[in-house]
Amino acid sequence: MIQPGKTIGVLGGGQLGRMFAHAAERLGYRVHIYEPAPDSPAGEVSAKEFNAPYTDRERLQEFARGCAAITYEFENVPVEPLWMIEQLTSLKPHWNVLETCQNRLREKTWLRKNGFPHVPFAEVQVGEDLAGAIRQIGLPCVVKTADFGYDGKGQMKVNDEATLAQAVASFSKQRAVVERYIDFKCELSVIVARTEAGVARTFPLAENIHTKHILDFSIVPARVSAAVRGEAERLGVAIAEKIGLVGLLAIELFLTDRNELLVNELAPRPHNSGHWTLDACVTTQFEQHVRAIVGLPLGGTGLTAPAVVMVNILGDVWHRSANGRTEPNWSTLLAEPLAKLHLYGKSEPKVGRKMGHFTVTGPSADAALEKARGLKALL
């Protein structure tokens, strides 16, 4: 066990690193951030921020030698520097977990190889017959880049011959994955923590509503049957065990019209759909991640309210005029006693950029969602 008082390092300086730093410091740890760009949201609240490229071996070694443990807060960290870091200090989750999850093709191949339910797909290497793969999977389908995609980036839905031609033009010079388009009842996510000793614990299943490929609302408890909740949690633990997780893993799922659960994506880190844990759970996802990577016992994951909804706040709610930028009127949101606001310290709001989130609790999932929709409309 790495005792409180030691230093934990985080690769990446975004909002997930920021909230991780808050949680780690409450437990008594110091946090160092490694982020190529200066003045990051996480660096702002950490004890020390290292600003250098991930390819700077000398700076990475300096960072690693000052940390008793290191983790990462997003998938787009190159794997090669992690091999060196692993020789210098504790790295959790293991680099091979990141390598699997940061590439759509490797991730889906891993799911298929290990017998986990997944969306049918075909892989297409550079120069191969993308149009043929699309016709093999059938229309409609979704074409995605194999590497580094999130929030709908690097993907296109193909409905007909016209969009097929567009996809071929857009993706023919890169590795791609062609997935069958799934008609689903809802999108779900389960977050599981696992320790080095193999103890695993899941958070309550979240129901997620996306708008323009970006998470809009997370609703807990998910409005699905107890059987679906149980199967999602069982699936989450099984995947965590098979992949050798130490830390936190988010599993995004489709619930099909036939009540089947299909794994869509894996993320070996705290997840946007787990932000509700900050205000309505015995242990936050960020604290649980800290506990798992340093060897502390895992915390409880029960709800502290009957229901909670999390709403992403995008840069779209900032308004521009001839006189400059207008800040949202946060008092309209905080006039609701059960609403909690979390802003990420980002200096420049942009359309589609996650600037913060809020949560609202209620007596039921439907009631909390209704209240959340009303508060979002005020913003």
**Domain at 316, CATH number:** 3.30.470.20
Q: Are residues 201 and 338 in the same domain?
A: yes
Alpha-carbon span 140 to 157, nearest angstrom = 7
Provide the CB-side half-sphere exposure for 178 (13 A, CA). 25
38-82 pLDDT, tens per residue? 999 999 999 999 999 999 999 999 999 999 999 999 988 999 999
Q: In this structure, is residue 77 part of a structural domain? A: yes
Alpha-carbon span 246 to 197, nearest angstrom = 9
- Confidence label for 344 from pLDDT (cuts 50, 70 and 90): very high
Range of the domain at 289: 184-378
Q: Are residues 37 and 173 in the same domain?
A: no
Q: In this structure, is residue 340 part of a structural domain? A: yes
Is the Cβ–Cβ distance between 165 and 270 less than 8 Å?
A: no
Q: Are residues 17 and 150 in the same domain?
A: no
Q: What is the pLDDT of residue 147?
A: 74
Q: In this structure, is residue 104 part of a structural domain? A: no
114-127 pLDDT, tens per residue? 999 999 999 998 88
201-215 pLDDT, tens per residue? 999 999 999 998 899
Q: In this structure, is residue 111 part of a structural domain? A: no
**CATH number of the domain bearing residue 139:** 3.30.1490.20
Overall domain count for the chain: 3
Q: Are residues 53 and 150 in the same domain?
A: no
pLDDT higher than 80, residue 249: yes
H helix runs in the chain, sequence order: 15-26, 57-65, 80-88, 95-101, 104-113, 130-137, 161-171, 226-243, 277-280, 285-294, 330-334, 365-378
Q: Are residues 59 and 163 in the same domain?
A: no
Percent of the chain scoring above 70 in pLDDT: 97
Q: Are residues 281 and 295 in the same domain?
A: yes
pLDDT higher than 80, residue 152: no
Q: Are residues 279 and 334 in the same domain?
A: yes
Q: In this structure, is residue 113 part of a structural domain? A: no
pLDDT higher than 60, residue 151: no
Q: Are residues 373 and 266 in the same domain?
A: yes
Q: Which tokens sit at 9?
A: 């390092």
Alpha-carbon span 190 to 276, nearest angstrom = 13
Please give the helix or strand (H or E) that residue 186 lies within, else none: strand 184-194
Q: Are residues 160 and 40 in the same domain?
A: no
Q: Are residues 189 and 167 in the same domain?
A: no
Q: Are residues 254 and 213 in the same domain?
A: yes
Q: Are residues 40 and 127 in the same domain?
A: no
Give the closest residue to 13 by CA, choosing from 49, 63, 56.
Answer: 49
- Confidence label for 191 from pLDDT (cuts 50, 70 and 90): very high
151: left (phi over 0), alpha (psi -120 to 50) or beta: left
